[in-house]
Structure 1
């Protein structure tokens, strides 16, 4: 299975999502994470803290042909603002596209652009994932979900809450399930577990 995490907007949780989907898929079968981000966010994540912090291998695009045959699942973390050609290649070459979206106006502009591109390509293999969703009583997440539903855009039922545990995970070079001394780490991991189940169940 090839899963690509893609958005024309940076700062929406692409790398965090790629890391955690790869960690979940690794529990099922050998999984490779391809770091296609120009600033190599996933690679830097993997190099922090304990060298054995991530349970899967992280490589660059240049190494993909060499490693791909040995893995059942491949997760691709893409550029924050991909070229049209890169976007088309990602859309065509993936079994599933995950489009992270933060429920705030600036990020929503990037989401609308991403969705328009996918619709132009006739791609039906994508789903929007709401990330960094603020806690209640704030309503931005519900408002974005309602807007997408009105436009019949496919959206994951699960969503990723805004939690400091994810920042700790990045700093420690581990998935959030490996973060110690944070009472919200289990909640953060459970959120991605729910997304993973949706992804695998179609």
Structure 2
């Protein structure tokens, strides 16, 4: 009589694979929804936090799967390895973002005109209470901008400021952004020649009744 010993699957490796798959699908759906305007930024950040927690839990379960393989000879070593790699790839953008946060100065916004920087009062008033606040660029923040971004300079155009504003508003409209406030744009004056032609144009003849 021969006895066949069947190796059991490691539950940790199976759960790790499930978390890796679910976190990947969740990240793709949330990213596409945010890209095409179906998901706002603040809920999208919440989804990113959930994805990070799921990926971290997946790595922990993958390590537990390797422990099951080593101590009891359970199956699922390859699945745990694949799940751990996927979870590490999911956490790579978070690690890069954390490094950039530590490497760059703690600023909400930057400006090229540090003598008279924009205040963004309308956006500061509409900012949610749980979001990072838009504060005026004072002397200390201006020094942080000079130190952290030494190559940041403005740009001058060979046209009037109103024309630059019009082109900027056209770009905003083309990208579907919402304008909450505008300052400094002046409507172009009417052309006298066009006005004279409109005034001199005869009135259309009346349409006879049937």
Output the TM-score relative to the length of structure 2.
0.23
Q: Which structure shows the higher strand fraction?
A: 1
Larger radius of gyration: 2
Q: Which structure shows the higher helix fraction?
A: 2
RCO higher in structure (CA 8 A, sep ≥6): 1
